[in-house]
A and B are shown apart, each in its own frame.
Chain A
Amino acid sequence: MSCQLVFEDVNEVHIAGCLDCQAIANAVASSAPNLDALKSEALKELAQHPKATSWTRSALVLLGVLLAVVVAALLVLSIRFEQHRSVELRWLSTASWLLVGILGISSSVAPRRLVAPAPTSALFVVSSLLSLWASSGFNAGLTGVGCVVTDLGLAALPLAAAIVALRNVSFDAARAWTAGIGAGSAGLVALQLHCADGRASHLALFHLLPVLAVGALAVALRRQISTRVFAP
């Protein structure tokens, strides 16, 4: 190899007269294929689904699932008041967790530039600190198992819906994490109003940790399932 420009920005005239650069260019150049054959699947899909579907529809479905789970949980579970120091802090904390859920789950299916892993994670941290700061310290004598089961149980449906929706975008751990944190927050909204225990250790171990676990689970599950659409 004698050409010193093989890795430089050379023009077509140089390439046409340089065997080294042609060799580099031809390294994996391909023969003329029957390209139309590669279009058949796309055309079949187009015939079956002639209308484009916006990603916002997916986001709205996920949001609907999340809110339905929260509302159903609040209707079924009893409401207790001992966890927080005041009513205002109780509602503030609940609202912040609802916001984590909405932001996380709806942005997870957005085009890449709108996915919000950092804002969702930041809001998770803020909400966690708010929950701990607003806690009353009241010892309800709970083991915490019930809280973990409630948290994970309520997260299951939004998480499953998110994983299915995430098949329609390329695999991205940050997306899956965002969806997982959002789904996990559904349980936490309900626990804000249902759980009577206000100890910081209880909240950290049995309320907050399961949400992180759901985030990690979302990444692991999404990695395992196949991708249907590879759009960013």
Chain B
Amino acid sequence: MQFEHAHASLQSMVPFVTLLPVNSESDEVLMARFCDGNQSAFDSLFSRHAAPLRRYLARFSGSIALADDLTQAAFLSVVRARGRFEQGQKFKPWLYAIATNVAKDTHRRRKHETLVAEVEPTEVGELFVRDRGLEKAMRTALSQLPEAQRSAIVMHRFEGLSFAEIAQAEGASESTVKVRAHRGYEKLRELLRDIWKEIAP
């Protein structure tokens, strides 16, 4: 019972904890090896980043089903564009830049489709009492943010990227990203204000 509770606690923290990679080589070393034709390096990069990236894309797009397609497209782009990866560049912001571009492109092409609140209930933290109303409100609020603000918030707040890394991924200055995140948080607060008033004791 105690074990189950501990396991559940750990599961609930998954979105926030970067698990230590089994392969101790840095992403950049793996990427260099991958560019030299080593497929196992790609496998290591995939197993290290696929789950967090899929989670990021689910949050960004608001759709789990779409997140699978986007993750697949993002890693396909990583393979196709590996010759564009420059020495000295950090891998994670590059990967998230690709993922964000995939999501934005897909969103642009599916403008008429609703990408909001398609996310199904999940296993994460299922053993805890969950505030599904707030979760749904949060998803809807996130989907209403402009893309640039949403990506800054999701990468920073949920995926733990630093502002410097987000700036690299977005091709913007660090201060611009901070402003975007700040404005995004302001807007989120505004969007959630009614719910906040309703639920707060």
Contact = CB atoms under 8 A, between A and B. Distances in A.
A50 B39 CA distance: 9
B62 A20 contact: no
Interface in B133-155: 134-136, 138-139, 142
B76 to A, nearest CB: 5
Contacts of A15: 12-13, 16
B98 interface: yes
Interface stretch (A25-33, A61-69, A178-186): A25-33
B21 interface: no
Contacts of B139: 27-28
A28 B157 CA distance: 13
Given A15-B13, A52-B35, A171-B105, A27 B142 contact: yes
Nearest to B71: A38
A41 B77 CA distance: 10
Interface in A122-178: 168-171
Contacts of A26: 12, 15, 122, 124-125, 130, 135
Interface residues of A, number: 51
Contact of A51 (B37, B75, B97, B128): B37
Interface in A68-103: none
Contact of A231 (B43, B46, B98, B123): B98
Nearest to B105: A227
Contacts of B55: 29-30
A62 B54 CA distance: 35
Given A7-B185, A7-B189, A30-B55, A12 B77 contact: no
A209 interface: no
Contacts of A7: 157, 185, 188-189
Given A52-B82, A112-B171, A41 B13 contact: no
20 contacts: A2-B200, A7-B189, A15-B16, A19-B130, A22-B128, A23-B131, A23-B134, A23-B135, A25-B12, A26-B122, A27-B138, A28-B119, A29-B14, A30-B122, A32-B51, A41-B76, A171-B105, A229-B77, A232-B101, A232-B169
Interface of A: 1-2, 7, 12, 15-16, 19-20, 22-33, 35, 37-43, 45-46, 49-55, 57, 111-113, 168-171, 227-232
Given A28-B64, A53-B83, A230-B101, 12 more contacts: A12-B17, A26-B135, A27-B59, A30-B122, A38-B54, A42-B79, A46-B42, A111-B84, A113-B171, A170-B98, A227-B101, A231-B101
